[in-house]
Structure 1
Amino acid sequence: MGQTAPAATNGTSLRERITTGLKDAMRDKDKTRLSTLRLINAAIKDQDIAARAKGGSSGVGEDELLAILAKMVKQRQESARAYEEGGRLELAEKERAEIEVIEAYLPRQLDDDEIAAAVDAALAQTGAETLRDMGKVMGVLKASYAGQMDFGAVGPLVKARLS
């Protein structure tokens, strides 16, 4: 499957990249990409509606879009695991194919060394010393590295450094 979403934004917004990807998937008749991108658009529209209902803004920003995509990846990873445990390998593969499509629109994930360096920098920036400071550190990491790391996995690392 030719999943070629541009990794770098090159001045285009994530919404524009998704819309372009949707058009390309229609043109290429790529059913997996098309259905996954439609699911992404639906999730974005749901959040746009919720945001307008709350505060009258025009919709969610780039950071929220990254969070939506990261959440969708995590949901599919959990589903794929459940399908594998249940012996439904074809459904697990479908989930993995959707993960590939979604991840094409996320920034590059940091490796373990880069995550450790980011945690060290956040600790230094916040002056964190105890577990009470964990929220500050996680806030800095989320602001700087949205969509680039799994914060569920980073939390224990921060906690270990603070204890």
Structure 2
Amino acid sequence: MTTPSPLQSRITEDMKAALRGGDKARLGTLRLILAALKQLEVDTRQAPDDTQVLAALDKMVKQRRESIGQYRDAGREELARAEEAELEVIQAYLPQPLSEEEIRQQVEAAVAESGADSVKDMGKVMGLLKPRLQGRADMAAVSAQVKARLSG
């Protein structure tokens, strides 16, 4: 048995507290998170580190946001609210999101560092940004900023 990352340990402890406290909604979401992390561990054959845990949480956030949009478009407000509740629990484990200005500064720094000068170099820039911004920014929005910066 491998040692879980500090973040994964915190999530496990919070799940136990939710179980003891009878917080069913929070408990269900924490169990979903731990199931995703267990699947990641099975797939990679090693315990995920905090970076991998953040990437998994970021993916879960993205899925929830997409679901909320689809539920609202379909007029299923109660399902959208349930997804929002899960989203809130998941986001509590992500680092503080970066401001638009902080993201812009990171994009500028990555463009300079990679020497990118056209949209063809977008992969290089995103390769630098992804580990820096994972879990702290919507990567689709970052990608759009990089594209705008490189096409301008």
TM-score by length of 2: 0.91
The structure 1 segments of at least 4 consecutive aligned residues displaced by more than 6 Å after TM superposition are: none
Q: Deviations over 1:30-85 (max 9, x none)?
A: 11110000000000101100101xxxxx2222222111111111111111111112
- C-alpha RMSD of the superposition: 1.2
Output the CA distance in 1 between the equivalents of 2:13 and 2:114. 39
1:150 aligns with 2:150: no
**Which sits farther off after the overlay, 70-79 or 101-110?**
70-79
- Equivalent AA in structure 2 for residue 34 of structure 1: L
- Equivalent AA in structure 1 for residue 30 of structure 2: L
2:15 — aligned with what?
22
The number of residues matched between the two structures is 147
Output the CA distance in 2 between the equivalents of 1:90 and 1:25. 23
1:80 — aligned with what?
68
2:87 — aligned with what?
99
Output the CA distance in 2 between the equivalents of 1:33 and 1:65. 18
- Point out the structure with the larger helix share: 2
**Equivalent in 101, 120, 128 of residue 113 of structure 1:** 101
Identity of aligned residues (%): 51
1:68 aligns with 2:46: no
Q: How many angstroms does 1:133 deviate by? A: 1.6
- Equivalent AA in structure 1 for residue 122 of structure 2: M
Output the CA distance in 1 between the equivalents of 2:133 and 2:86. 23
Output the CA distance in 1 between the equivalents of 2:149 and 2:67. 32
2:44 — aligned with what?
51
Structure 1, gaps ≥5 residues long = 1-11, 53-57
TM-score by length of 1: 0.85
- Equivalent AA in structure 2 for residue 36 of structure 1: T
Q: How many angstroms does 1:116 deviate by? A: 0.6
1:32 aligns with 2:25: yes
Q: How many angstroms does 1:132 deviate by? A: 2.2
Q: How many angstroms does 1:155 deviate by? A: 0.8
Q: Deviations over 1:83-142 (max 9, x none)?
A: 112221111111000000000001111111111111011111212112222111111111
Output the CA distance in 2 between the equivalents of 1:151 and 1:70. 9
